[in-house]
Amino acid sequence: MQERSSVDELAKRLRGELDRYSPDGKLPSSRSLVERFRVSPVTVSRALAQLAAEGLVVTRPGAGAFRAHPRAAAAPAGDTSWQEVALSADGSADLVPRTVDASGVTICLAAPPPGVLEFSGGYPHPSLQPERAMAAALARAGRRPGAWERPPLEGLPELREWFARGIGGGVTAAEVLIAAGGQTALATALRALAPPGAPVLVESPTYPGMLALARAAGLRPVPVPVDQDGVRPALLADAFRGSGARVFVCQPLFQNPTGAVLAPGRRAEVLRIAREAGAFVIEDDFIRRLAHTDSGPLPPPLAADDPDGVVVHVASLTKATSPSFRVSALAARGPVLERLRAIQVVDTFFVPRPLQEAALELVGSPAWPRHLRALSAELTTRRTAMTAALRLRLPELALPHVPSGGYHLWLRLPDGADESALTTAALRAGVAVIPGRPYFSAEPSAAHIRVSFAAVSGTADITEGVRRLRAACDEIL
């Protein structure tokens, strides 16, 4: 966040000085800007790139940066009010309105203002990302023979094989498709398995991005409560009978937001209930590589215990690498695999081959297991620091479950508390948290907030963020 703020500030200052130069006039060299503003060369490069994107500056390799010629005045804005009618013209025929509400997703993706600590982030801080290993992998990938050719539509065979081995249970490379990130894979699975207007069973609470995908596809999310041991089988069976749904979406490992792991005794029950209902289970195994050091042996994916093709499995590299490293996999058995493939080809053609080659280079390098061990240790340290700080400073916020994997904690507020007011007060106090309401597809059982310990720079920021959250609670609670 500090680097991004520096870029914005430098771009603002350079923007204000452009009138000093005539069109085609040369700006000071990058070296002089580094010395004058006491910033890094990367900051200067990104600030100039920002001005170039705005059409204010032209950069010429080897020559420097120059003021661009003034642009012609923009045409007057037209009247777009007709679109409101056009977009809703067929709404009366839809069983479920297909409006797209991205608010629950953008809360997790939006960068907080400068100076605000990011307890809202959904990705590890840059210091936790394997930036050098990814850069080296990308460089090696670009030199691979055929790296810039069109890849197989299903994905590179070697990468499909790597994902299949990770799933286990006899899943083969032929049953795996490479997708462009977990969100894209979930969207493909939902479209493949349920027609518009159909109900789809979801954990409650659950990932807001999945709820948004379901509603955008015209599906009707039906909540099934979870506890510390994951989804409750008896309630799942009731939901299948009562709704007639043929799809259940779940996160059996380190569930978002509760952190729950589906208990061993419930795994077979979930598969049996779905099979008897003639339904599919979409297994979102998004966070397997973010286990903590005290997690113990991880249970295998549900797909590994499913010979009958009940499970459509989604796995991703993104959470353990970078938000921009969007490589994931869909695994399925039976006729549904061809439908998944067809939808993916129509939607995206294929995942860019250089990115797939880079993924292969990364996961096959010695740096990959080292990164996973370091990430696990650091997440454990941060989780311990945050739970200790919360229990010391905010004992009124209930923490019913301390997860052994993932990057966040799920806190229940006292009865009658206003989570929206608390998140607003927290932002004023200098810490961004996520309200619990977007995680529920129906009325929530209580007010909650989700706090991330991975998106800040370290334990000092965690301690300070909890102190600021204490100030917000003193104002609201």
Which CATH number fits the domain that encloses residue 31?
Answer: 1.10.10.10
Tell me, yes or no, whether 166 and 40 share the same domain.
Answer: no
Cα separation, 361 vs 354, whole angstroms: 10
| Residue for token pair 């159909």 | 198
Tell me, yes or no, whether 211 and 161 share the same domain.
Answer: yes
Query: What does the CA dihedral 80, 83, 84, 88 come to, rounded to 10 degrees?
Result: 180
Tell me, yes or no, whether 135 and 117 share the same domain.
Answer: no
How far does Cα 319 stand from its chain's mean position? Answer: 7
Domain range enclosing 53: 2-67
Establish if 94 belongs to a structural domain: no
Q: Kindly report, residue by residue over 169-217, the tens digit of the pLDDT.
A: 999 999 999 999 999 999 999 999 999 999 999 999 999 999 999 999 9
DSSP helix/strand/coil, 376: helix
Residue 303 sits in a domain of what CATH number?
3.40.640.10
Q: Does residue 113 come out as left (phi exceeding 0), alpha (psi in the -120 to 50 range) or beta? A: beta
Tell me, yes or no, whether 398 and 267 share the same domain.
Answer: no
Cross-strand bridge partners of residue 412: 398, 448
Establish if 82 belongs to a structural domain: no
Q: Please check the confidence at residue 61 and state whether its pLDDT lies above 90.
A: no
Establish if 85 belongs to a structural domain: no
DSSP helix/strand/coil, 274: helix
* Final residue in a domain of this structure, among 363, 391, 407: 363
Tell me, yes or no, whether 416 and 341 share the same domain.
Answer: no
DSSP state of 458: S
Q: Kindly report, residue by residue over 238-285, the tens digit of the pLDDT.
A: 999 999 999 999 999 999 999 999 999 999 999 999 999 999 999 999
Helix 41-53 × helix 2-17 angle, to 10°: 60
Amino acid identity, position 425: A
Average pLDDT over residues 378-388: 97
Other beta carbons within 10 angstroms of residue 189's beta carbon come to 29
Residue 310 has a pLDDT of 92
DSSP helix/strand/coil, 184: helix
Cα separation, 48 vs 50, whole angstroms: 5
Average pLDDT over residues 430-453: 94
Mean pLDDT of the chain: 90
Residue 82 has a pLDDT of 57
pLDDT band of residue 106 (cuts 50, 70, 90) is: confident
pLDDT band of residue 156 (cuts 50, 70, 90) is: very high
Tell me, yes or no, whether 466 and 387 share the same domain.
Answer: yes
Contacts of 31 (CB under 8 A, 6+ apart): none
Establish if 380 belongs to a structural domain: yes
Going 131 to 144 to 360 to 354, the CA torsion angle's sign is: positive
Cα separation, 320 vs 134, whole angstroms: 11
Tell me, yes or no, whether 213 and 276 share the same domain.
Answer: yes
Tell me, yes or no, whether 174 and 218 share the same domain.
Answer: yes
* Final residue in a domain of this structure, among 321, 341, 363: 363
Establish if 374 belongs to a structural domain: yes
Residue 470 sits in a domain of what CATH number?
3.90.1150.10
Tell me, yes or no, whether 329 and 381 share the same domain.
Answer: no
Domain count within the chain: 3
Tell me, yes or no, whether 139 and 164 share the same domain.
Answer: yes
Establish if 354 belongs to a structural domain: yes
Establish if 87 belongs to a structural domain: no
**By CB neighbour count within 10 A (0-12 exposed, 13-18 middle, 19+ buried), where does 372 fall?**
middle
Residue 1 has a pLDDT of 38
Backbone angles phi, psi at 280, to 5 degrees: -95, 150
**Helix, strand, coil content of the chain in percent (nearest 5):** 45, 15, 40
Tell me, yes or no, whether 227 and 355 share the same domain.
Answer: yes
Average pLDDT over residues 23-35: 90
How far does Cα 384 stand from its chain's mean position? Answer: 23
* Final residue in a domain of this structure, among 22, 51, 67: 67
Q: What is the DSSP string of 47-91?
A: HHHHHHHTTSEEEETTTEEEEPPPPPPPPPP---THHHHHHTTTG
Cα separation, 451 vs 249, whole angstroms: 23
CB-based contact 199:244 (threshold 8 Å): yes
Tell me, yes or no, whether 281 and 399 share the same domain.
Answer: no
Establish if 76 belongs to a structural domain: no
Helix 157-167 × helix 353-363 angle, to 10°: 50
